[in-house]
A and B are shown apart, each in its own frame.
Chain A
Amino acid sequence: MAIEVRIPTILRTYTGGEKAVSADGASLSALIDDLEVNHPGIKDRLIDNGDLRRFVNVYINDEDVRFIGGLEAELADGDQVVVLPAVAGGAH
């Protein structure tokens, strides 16, 4: 099983500069664990206290995972996962 994971600029320090890497997993949670094996440290940038970080967006085939089960979202061979940090901020 191979799932393409698109990595944002800010996390490419964990992937040796690669824009996309391949990983395995039947769920997003399993996929992130698999990513961590080859790219140690990346999991902590995606997950906090067992949940996706508030300002990290993950999409499976164009859908925000928050609408399709979050970390439990299912994955199948050939799916594409995109990670994008939120663009956010403000005076407060």
Chain B
Amino acid sequence: MLTIDRATYDAIVAHAKRDHPDEACGIVAGPEGSDRPERWVEMVNAAGSPTFYEFDSTDLFQLYKEMDANDEEPVVVYHSHTATEAYPSRTDIGLASEPNAHYVLVSTREHGNSEGPVEFRSYRIVDGEVTEEEVTVVDELPSN
């Protein structure tokens, strides 16, 4: 199960809507091993595409360096699909390389840049196997 706070959830949804029709991407970092998505980091989609996303290699390096210095890991890795459902594509599955992360997919296909509900779903992707999980949105993450 993914437990995420309302502000982070809203930030991810707003990012996906803003970048529509291109795919939006980013992470939510948290203390290593904590499973707590605490620090939202919006990334630039270097592919700038409606059907593909990729973190810029220099941005990726800086991000991991920063997380390493903070003893963090990517708790959530998210991106949007802008014309299809919020389910991992074959590309998503083939390239998933964070076995500990919750892979969040947001679909903006219904309302695009406008107000309105989106599909927001979360998965584990390990060794090519996809397992959907429940998403619980809370006002604030429970204190440690």
| Chain A residues in the interface with B (C-beta under 8 A) | 8-10, 55, 57, 59, 62, 64, 66, 82, 84-92
Contact = CB atoms under 8 A, between A and B. Distances in A.
Given A57-B61, A64-B57, A64-B61, A89 B51 contact: no
B61 A89 contact: no
Contacts, number: 86
Main SS at interface, chain B: mixed
Interface residues of B, number: 36
For the complex of A and B, 6 pairs with smallest distance between CB atoms:
A92-B51, A90-B52, A85-B97, A89-B92, A88-B54, A91-B81
Among B25, B60, B65, B83, which residue has the most Cβ atoms of chain A within 10 A? B60
Contacts of A92: 49, 51-52, 89, 91
B47 A90 contact: yes
B77 A88 contact: no
Nearest to A19: B68
A89 B53 contact: yes
B97 A10 contact: yes
Interface in B56-79: 57-58, 60-61, 64-65, 73-74, 77, 79
A1 to B, nearest CB: 24
A89 B89 contact: yes
A27 to B, nearest CB: 20
19 contacts: A64-B57, A82-B64, A84-B64, A86-B55, A87-B54, A87-B98, A88-B47, A88-B53, A88-B54, A89-B52, A89-B95, A90-B47, A90-B79, A90-B89, A91-B51, A91-B52, A91-B81, A92-B49, A92-B52
Nearest to B45: A90
A87 B99 CA distance: 12
Contacts of B49: 90, 92
